[in-house]
Structure 1
């Protein structure tokens, strides 16, 4: 069974934990990390497995923090699990924390500048069915096909890219 730390409304750990996937109580919050992977000016986007919540929607790779993990550790773990990308510390830059109210979620968003191609990716089939690199203009055109969370992430970080 996997656990997540519970945070308060100021994004501070409460010292309590919950089983990952359980319903979040009203004044509790969780944390996750997302990677905006850029290679040669192109942004990596991934498509969620149809059996997952928001199945078939596009997103930035990432996922929920496990108990005891900070945002950067979550980023490394999730990016490797979902895509096979293992960036160096100097390739990562924290962009911002995005608060997503419907999930009571603090999303730590990181820019990852890496020399990687689609052939280099090793997709986690239970999570991702497709990946592609797009320009920022192409991403904006396909934004309607993104999860609501990832739409919000993009709107809050697009000026930072």
Structure 2
């Protein structure tokens, strides 16, 4: 199992972490599911913004709190950014037809995955963003072989985040 704890001193370092993970994804896999945990304001959407911009998205990246799923069709990828904070029951995902989106070539960024229970694909990586002293930190965990490939590639990049 690969696990990193990375200090995030500000918004820019959180975006750089998102960029580094995106870079690792695009060079090691065809698809990936990333679960993002953390309190409100801990940097989950900021991470997603860095991730999407690294893959070529040039527009705004807003939290899909009200839409639940925001798809981004990029040159080489489709990225689905989900925010399940306002989900009242996991079954709501079925009403949205979320299973129709699942495939092995898409990248998934899922905020608040614990609210989706068993209605979500298994995560390759989990990232927990939390407050620590006067800054934030990210704990990354590889949960599958794809996740291990991505975090192995991330290893040398994590030192460049500060």
TM-score range, shorter chain: under 0.3
Of Structure 1 and Structure 2, the greater helix share is in: 2
The two structures have a TM-score, normalised by structure 2, of 0.27
Higher relative contact order (CA 8 A, sep 6+): 2
Name the TM-score, length of structure 1 as normaliser: 0.28
> Whose strand fraction is larger, Structure 1's or Structure 2's?
1
